[in-house]
Each structure stands twice: as structure tokens, then as C-alpha cells.
Copies of this chain bind each other. A is one copy, B any other.
Amino acid sequence: MTAPFAFRLIATDGMARRGQITTPHGTVQTPAFMPVGTQGTVKAMFMDDVRATGAEVVLGNVYHLMLRPGAERVAALGGLHRFSTWPHTILTDSGGFQVMSLAQLRKLTEHGVTFQSHIDGSRHELTPERSVEIQGLLGSDIQMQLDECVRLPATPEEVERGMRLSLRWAERSRRRFEDLGGPGKGQGLYGIVQGGDVPHLRVASAEGLRALPFEGYSVGGLAVGEPQAVMLAMLDITTPVLPADKPRYLMGVGTPDDIVESVARGIDQFDCVMPTRAGRHGLAYTRFGKINLKNARHMDDPRPLDEESDCPAARDYSRAYLHHLVRTGEALGAMLLTWVNVAYYQSLMKGIRTAIEEGRYAAFVAETKEGWAKGDLPPL
């Protein structure tokens, strides 16, 4: 018998929470950052190295995986954990966000959404039920309901329509998840708060969702281009409405600064393509802030990005070499900088967790921001 999905609150500091999620594939210390493994791979990294940075959960994208290699195929191959050689916790999204941003000829109805694949034009349907089925076939430990993320700017009426639809889809998702035996397998399904930038709709969404027995609650529809202040204001009014004994996941966020601010508002989980994507574009996230390795200032610099880092990629390679790799377009440049960034995000989360435990989260945030503001090492 599998232990049920569990969340335990270990400590709090203001609104910031230090917790632990237990899934069939391990424990996840929170606040946690989840590297994005869209197609069953965290781009340009070996899974062993992802794990060694401290990551305990990676994210898979239903939209991509349902198209290639296909959910039934992954299931026949033993599930996404085995397929992608990641035996630890996996969280999947519902596919809805990518359908709206990547697919063609979308048609949204009460029933669900039909669309054409951006790869080969093939037609597919995603409903709340099918999304949960796919996530079950993948063997995902932490699953998301299908929702509609209304693109901003939008009228309050349009935002409310999408939020209400998402609430109805939440109920259908939950029913299917239980029919498939998700709770008995120790898996979790999260409801997703929508409501755009309209405070009372955010509250109504969160209240509607907390009436359902979700294992966790996501906040969706933020970090989609709005100012950070708007995102944080939405969190300020949303997290107090969510159950204190369930994890809270802010989807698609974000910069290191977004993360520390959102933790201060009670968020426990994050994912974002930023560290991996930036690594493929010559950018490094460090305690000195963001460093552009394309910049000529690094050309003759024998120093590593951060000699005090635990990450070999940040510690054992000169800036001159990283600059050379980025300028020549060598794969190793993307491999090393992705590793640097995933490792930095994980070290940031570790610092956040320790600070909350020690009741000094505000001081930690101030110190961390000071480091970023101070900027990179002076030239030699």
C-alpha cells in the first residue's frame, strides 16, 4: 500500500513557509524550485547533475509529451520516471497553457479544447478528464487540473468567464483523478486559481477550489507579462484564502527576485524555464546577479563565475573559457551555463529554507538582494 500524498508544515516566518511534500517518488523540501523538463529532459543537462544540484522534483509538460512520444507509449515503457531516467518526484502541468500558446486552430468549448499539433498539424483533444488520464499514464506524482488561462489584458467579464470555466473543470478533473485511483497511488492533484488581475475573482476562485479536496493549490495566470507588483498583489490576496495545510505552487515563476518575494507571500513551489533557457543564451544566474558571458569583459578573465560555488560548472571553468564557448556556439557552453543556473536556483532555495527555519527570512532576502545589487566582481 502506497503512503498517501502528504504535506507537512515545518516552520513559518511571517507568511513564508518551510515544508515537506511526500510523494511516491520521494520527499520534496519546500520552498522548492522545480527545473523544467518539458520533453522528458531538462534541456542540456544529465539528470544525475540535475539531482546533484539539490533538485527533488522536475516538471514535465503534458502538451509536449502527449504529442511526442505519446502518453500511452510512455506508459508502455514504464512511465515518465523510468523513460526519462528521473526516479524522483515528477510534477506535470495539464497541457492547457501550452495548447493556448503553441498549438494551432484551437477551439475551446465547455467540454474541452481541440487543437492542431504545432509539430505535424495532427488533431487532438484535451478535456479535464483526458488531461488527468494522460498525467496518470505518465505516472506523474503531482498533477494539475486543466484550466483556462485567459490572456491579459482582458475585460473582467472575460476573466470571470475563464475562471468559472476553470472551476467547473476543477470538479471534473477531481472526479476523474479519483476514479483513476490517484489518491490511492499517493499521487496529488492540484486545483488552479485563476482570476487574472481582478482581486475579487482571485478570491472567488480560491474559495471555489478550497471546497474541493485537492492535495495542493496552484496559482496560475500570473507571470504572463504583468508588472511584478501586480503579481505580488494578487498573491497577497490569494494565499490567505488557500488552506494552510496544503502546498501552494506559483506556476511559471520566475526570476530569483520573483521567487524570494513570492515565498514571503506564502508560496511553496515554483517552476520556470528561465534558468535553463538563459543557460542556452549565455546568461548565468549567480549570487552576484545575472552575468552575460557574451560580454567581452570576460574574454581574458581566468576567474571562475563563483569560486565559492558548490557547482563544478560555476567553480572549475574560467570566465574566459565560458565566454569562448558561448561565442563559438559550442554545446558545452549551454551545458555548463544551464548547470550553473539550475545549481544557483537550488542554492537560493536552500538558503530560503534555512532562513525560514531560523526565523530570519527578511534578513536573508535583504542580504541576497544586496548581493545581486552589488553586481559582478570588478574586472581584474
Query: A334 — which chain B residues lie within 8 A by C-beta?
Result: 331
CB of A124 within 8 Å of the partner chain: no
Interchain CA distance A306-B300 in the complex, whole Å:
43
CB of A41 within 8 Å of the partner chain: yes
**Cβ of A77 and Cβ of B300 under 8 Å apart?**
yes
User: Residue on B with the closest CB to A48?
Assistant: B312
Q: Which one of A135-143, A218-226, A319-327 is at the B interface?
A: A319-327
Interchain CA distance A43-B333 in the complex, whole Å:
10
**Cβ of A46 and Cβ of B318 under 8 Å apart?**
no
CB of A316 within 8 Å of the partner chain: yes
Q: Which one of A68-76, A180-188, A250-258 is at the B interface?
A: A68-76
A-side interface residues, number (CB < 8 Å): 35
**Chain A interface main SS type:** loop
Interchain CA distance A325-B331 in the complex, whole Å:
15
**Cβ of B299 and Cβ of A46 under 8 Å apart?**
no
Q: CB within 8 A of A73: which of B68, B84, B320? A: B320
CB of A328 within 8 Å of the partner chain: yes
CB of A335 within 8 Å of the partner chain: yes
Interchain CA distance A325-B68 in the complex, whole Å:
10
- A residues near B (Cβ < 8 Å) are 39-41, 43-46, 64, 68-69, 73, 76-78, 83-85, 299-300, 302, 316-318, 320-321, 323-325, 327-328, 330-332, 334-335
